[in-house]
């Protein structure tokens, strides 16, 4: 992995908190920013996956799916009626 230098601007109070946390964790400020960015990217990826899953389940069944479900329900009903 190649490291590159970058410059960012932020509120002084936030930078002070970053410095305090980096010192507390015994890691460099650069490492703290890298960890935070990795975690943010992973969280966004998980949110996108969840959104896609929810979108897929929110879709209404297609006419073919509805026909299949109706057939399966009828078959299940016949099985239950035969048992009694």
Cα–Cα distance measured from residue 50 to residue 44, given in angstroms and rounded to the nearest whole number: 10
Tokens 């009694």 label which residue? Answer: 84
The structural domains of the chain, with segments of one domain joined by +, span: 12-83
Cα–Cα distance measured from residue 41 to residue 84, given in angstroms and rounded to the nearest whole number: 57
pTM over 0.75: no
8 A C-beta contact, residue 33 and residue 18: yes
pLDDT in tens, 21-68: 999 999 999 999 999 999 999 999 999 999 999 988 887 778 888 899
Cα–Cα distance measured from residue 84 to residue 75, given in angstroms and rounded to the nearest whole number: 15
């Amino acid at each position: 992995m190649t490291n590159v230098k970058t410059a960012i601007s932020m509120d002084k109070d936030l930078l002070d908190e970053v410095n305090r946390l980096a010192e507390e964790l015994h890691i460099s400020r650069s490492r703290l920013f890298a960890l935070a960015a990795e975690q943010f990217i992973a969280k966004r990826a998980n949110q996108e996956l969840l959104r896609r899953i929810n979108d897929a389940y929110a879709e209404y069944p297609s006419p073919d799916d509805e026909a299949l479900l109706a057939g399966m329900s009828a078959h299940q009903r016949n099985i239950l009626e035969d048992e009694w």
